[in-house]
Structure 1
Amino acid sequence: MTENAVNKINTRSLILVLIIISAGILRVLNVGKFGDWANFTPVGAIALFAGTHFKNRWAAYLTPLLTLFLSDIIVNYGYYGKTTLFYEGIVWVYAAFALMVLIGSFIKRVSAINVLLAAIGSVVIHWLITNFGVWLGGMLYPQTLAGLADCYIKAIPFEKNLLLGNLAYGALLYGGFEWAKRSFPSLSTKVNWAK
């Protein structure tokens, strides 16, 4: 591998990290406003985007999960007025987002339909995993099948917002990066290793 090829890969990775951090900042802009648009955030789209575009698997998982962790600290402080590093159910939430990264890694060709299907699939996974964790915690719902069903049903508005966030921010992230790759070919992963 030539020095030029290494610089090209490092530049691309740096740009991807900066894009993800920028999108993560958008999550904290409405801190303290937990209303009808709760869960309309870029974090699902960030996880999918990282899974698709990072060739290094460690970076693909670490970058969005670290962005989620840091923004969680700010968001939790905004809602509760105290610094919270870990919260009840964090394992379920982060497992769901790690699986979103995995779903993003299956996108081999970026297209509207592929991103749409990934956005829907990631929301279904988030809905199943995180709400199972809420139910299993036993604090809000009885640990019965009826309680589990109630937990899943009451989560639908939040998951709808997550889907809308995945679609809106996914369009920005994927569309913006595809445009950037056309404008700046060095961002493409197609490296001529023979040079």
Structure 2
Amino acid sequence: MPAYNMNTRNTVLILMIIGAIAMRFVTFEFQQLSNFTPVGAVALFAGTYFTDKWKSFLLPLLILFVSNIGINYLYTGQVTLFSWFDLVTYSCFALTVFIGTFIKKVNVLNVLAGSVLSAVLFWLITDMPFLYGNFYTHDMSGYITSLTNALPFLRNMIMSDAIFGLLLYGGFELAKNKYTFLRNKHELAM
């Protein structure tokens, strides 16, 4: 594939990711939409479509980092570059990118399965009780309480990953069907 086509494909992917991440600022105003953000869908999408795997990890995490600065400012009125909890969050989204790399055939079932798997893993990891200091007891009871309290966030994350995933994957697949220069080498060979 000529370099200019690969650059065009990557540019389209990056613009789609930036556009989706911008939705974080829209949902900020509505607290009932907490965790209803495109971040999980973006990470899965990047893992699926970037042919250079380092880009699939770097770009969504970098865009998440930049958008977090703005979101944190909206919540606290202070510029916060990084917190210790971000390490856990970014690791979970890197895991979601990794899951996205296994989606070889893009269809509703595969994208939905990747979305649900990544959301459940995010929920199981980020709601470990020791991450919240002494808010929960550091035993199985505290973990179950933390997971139970986080069920509305899990629901929102699964729904947002499905909706934003449909928009991102569906939009790019439609664009690839119309514009062959968005296809990768393997797709062009078919």
TM-score by shorter chain over 0.5: yes
Aligned partner of residue 107 in structure 1, secondary structure: coil
Deviation at 1:117, TM superposition (A): 0.3
Q: Aligned residue for 1:11? A: 8
Aligned partner of residue 33 in structure 2, secondary structure: coil
Q: Aligned residue for 1:161? A: 156
CA distance in 2, matches of 1:35, 1:11: 37
Contact 1:52/1:105 (8 A) holds in 2: yes
Pair 1:24-2:21 in alignment: yes
Q: Aligned residue for 1:91? A: 87
CA distance in 1, matches of 2:108, 2:186: 25
Q: Aligned residue for 1:66? A: 62
Aligned residues: 189
Q: Aligned residue for 2:169? A: 174
The superposition leaves residues 77-136 of structure 1 with CA deviations (integer Å, 9 ceiling, x where unpaired) of: 11111111112411111110000000111000100000010010001110111112x534
Deviation at 1:57, TM superposition (A): 1.0
Aligned partner of residue 2 in structure 2, secondary structure: helix
CA distance in 2, matches of 1:11, 1:35: 37
Report the AA paired with residue 187 of structure 1: L
From 16, 38, 42, give the equivalent of 2:38.
42
CA distance in 2, matches of 1:193, 1:127: 38
Q: Aligned residue for 2:141? A: 146
More helix by share: 2
CA distance in 2, matches of 1:74, 1:54: 26
Contact 1:127/1:152 (8 A) holds in 2: yes
Q: CA RMSD in A?
A: 1.8
Amino-acid identity (%): 43
From 72, 86, 109, give the equivalent of 1:76.
72
Aligned partner of residue 89 in structure 1, secondary structure: helix
Q: Aligned residue for 2:106? A: 110
Report the AA paired with residue 27 of structure 2: N
Q: What stretches of structure 2 of length at least 5 have no aligned partner?
A: none
Q: What stretches of structure 1 of length at least 5 have no aligned partner?
A: none
Task: Mark the CA change 1:192 to 1:109 in structure 2 (over 3 Å): closer, same or farther.
Answer: closer
Contact 1:54/1:60 (8 A) holds in 2: yes
Provide the TM-score with structure 1 as the length reference: 0.91
Pair 1:130-2:126 in alignment: yes
CA distance in 2, matches of 1:109, 1:73: 35
Report the AA paired with residue 169 of structure 1: F
Q: Which moved more, 1:108-117 or 1:64-73?
A: 64-73
Deviation at 1:34, TM superposition (A): 5.3
The superposition leaves residues 3-46 of structure 1 with CA deviations (integer Å, 9 ceiling, x where unpaired) of: x6111111111111111111111111233x35221000000000
CA distance in 1, matches of 2:168, 2:187: 26
